[in-house]
Structure formats: structure tokens, C-alpha cells
Amino acid sequence: MRKRTLGTGASALEVSALGLGCMGMSYGYGPAADKQEMIALIRAAVERGVTFFDTAEAYGPFTNEELVGEALAPFHGQVVIATKFGFKLGSNGGQTGMDSRPKHIREVAEASLKRLKVEAIDLFYQHRVDPDTPIEDVAGTVKELIQEGKVKHFGLSEAGAQTIRRAHAVQPVTALQSEYSLWWRAPEVDVLPTLEELGIGLVPFSPLGKGFLTGAINETTTFDKSDFRMIVPRFTPEARKANQALVDLLGEIGARQNATPAQIALAWLLAQKPWIAPIPGTTKLERLEENLGAAAVELTPDTLREIESATSRITVHGARYPEELERRTGR
């Protein structure tokens, strides 16, 4: 697996070109998977060259960090683990709002260190921008944690360009994690140019459109009641039917390249910038191997132009989040 560098200078962090998003193993896409099977899957990813793993205290909550910590304990010093702070978690584990107060950031850091079984958090993201806490205070707190040796790198998630600039001025931001894929390209407007200017890496989550770009989901697919996609406007049967055109395009290009739609979608992301490291998630070994195969798919300039031209004529239907969740992004 080739490596990529997120950030520059002292804040540079080398990771595998494709990472592994671990959220869905515990949370978000239906019932949690078997813990021992997921430990085996995470270790299989390490064996195949993946060095970049993504989790958060909010996933579960807490259980995903515990899973990742146990799975990666034998590989300390060989892998990069990213986790996140910034949500207020209720007694039942649900998210009840934002909380990026300095005191809370420190509490989360200490708890995450224990669950992850590490001496320092490799990459510590603010999960969503907290409108009640100045970003300068957030960045300053993480800067102190870096100075104390408890955190190595600072990241933001779903932040807007102005927030990124303000945070970066206090503590260099190594990476921004945001949704980015062929069916969510909003970051291209002002976020990607800002990252390029400041030397910040991009870690796209949901690079396969929450599974839709794999071609394994159609208008008749049913989701478990605990699956987040049940409340996503883009996943109504009507929207899925309308959005099939994008998957069909990926299938056509894939057929010529001896690649799957998912591999084309990931290869397209990798071709956008050398400082982009997507983190597709899965609970299946065959999907893991399929996703990692995308790193070997070379898209020629002609093919990239063809994708650009074809997608410009395809309208993606449905919002990516319910309105309440979308309000938490792009601040």
C-alpha cells in the first residue's frame, strides 16, 4: 500500500493511501457486528498494508474505541489511530449536542487514551464545530495536549473554510475529515482550495456514499431500523432510484478497467489530490480487499475527464443529511 502525507512540516503525518473507517463495526449501520470478527478484520487490514484507522468516542458510544484499541494493541508504533471529541453524550449514549469546552476536551482525551490503549492519540479531531466555544480555545487546548505528549496531531471534521483558518492560526491542522465523493462534492467550492493553500490533508469519510456507490444498494433495498440511512433523504426509495445513474456510470467505466464501481469511486478520489486519504468502512473481508484494490486502479486523464463530463450531467437527488444534522456542518 502506498503512503500519503497529511499536513506539512512539523504537523505532517504519513498514512496509508486508503485507511479504514471503523464506525460501522459498532454503530450507525444497523446492529453492531461480532467483536472478535471485527478484531480479525482490523488486523487483516494491517496485514494488507493499512496503517490508518478511524474511530470516535461517540461511536457506540465508547465501544468502537475499545474495539479498535484491542485490535491494534499488537501494532503500536506501526499504525495511526484517529479519534474525535466534541459531542455531549446522554446517559443512554445518544448525542445531546456539542461540547468542545477545554475541560471536556481534556476529559475525552484521557478516556480515549485508556480505551485505545495508547500513550498518545495520533490524530485528535473536533467531531463537529461547537458554536458555543471559540475555535481558538479548542485549538489552544489541543495545542496544550500536544505539548504534554498526549496528542500528536490536530484535526477538524466538517468545518468550514473560515473555521479552518482560525484554528490553523493557533495550532497547525494536520487533516480535515469531511464527506467527499462523487455524490457529495461541496468541499470543492472553498474547502479544498483552503486546505491546499494551508497544507492540510483531507480525509474523506463516506467515500462510497454510505455504501450507495458500491452498486450493492438499489431502490428495493431495506435497512435495519437502527441504520442511520433510514433518516437520510438521499436514501429514500425515490432518491435511490433517481441516483442509480451515477452507479451505472461507475459500472460502465469499471467494466473497461476491470474494476468495480466502488474501486472507480475510490480511485477517482485518490486522483484528485496527493494529500487525500479516504477511509471507506466495511464489516466484510471481501469488501475490505475490494476497497484496497482501488489503490492499484489508475485512471488516465481522459478517463477522469470522461467522469467529470458525465457526472456534470447527473443530478444527485436528496439531501445528504436531515436538516438538523446538516446545520452542524460547514461552520
Strand pairing class (173-179; 201-205): parallel
User: Which amino acid is present at 215?
Assistant: G
CA distance 109 to 151: 8
Strands in the chain per DSSP E: 3-6, 13-16, 20-21, 52-54, 80-85, 87-89, 95-98, 121-126, 151-157, 173-179, 201-205
Q: Tell me the three cell numbers of residue 122.
A: 495520533
> For residue 125, which of 94, 80, 89, 93 has the smallest C-alpha distance?
80
Q: Are 154 and 182 in contact (CB under 8 A)?
A: no
- Establish how many alpha carbons lie within 13 A of residue 285's alpha carbon, considering only the half-sphere containing its beta carbon: 10
Strand pairing class (3-6; 13-16): antiparallel
- Length of the chain (residues): 331
Which residues are known catalytic residues? 59
Q: Which letter does DSSP use for residue 229 in this model?
A: G
Q: Which letter does DSSP use for residue 259 in this model?
A: -
Q: Tell me the three cell numbers of residue 11.
A: 504537523
Task: List Cβ neighbours of 238 (8 Å cut-off, separation of 6 or more).
Answer: 219, 317
CA distance 160 to 176: 10
CA distance 286 to 81: 23
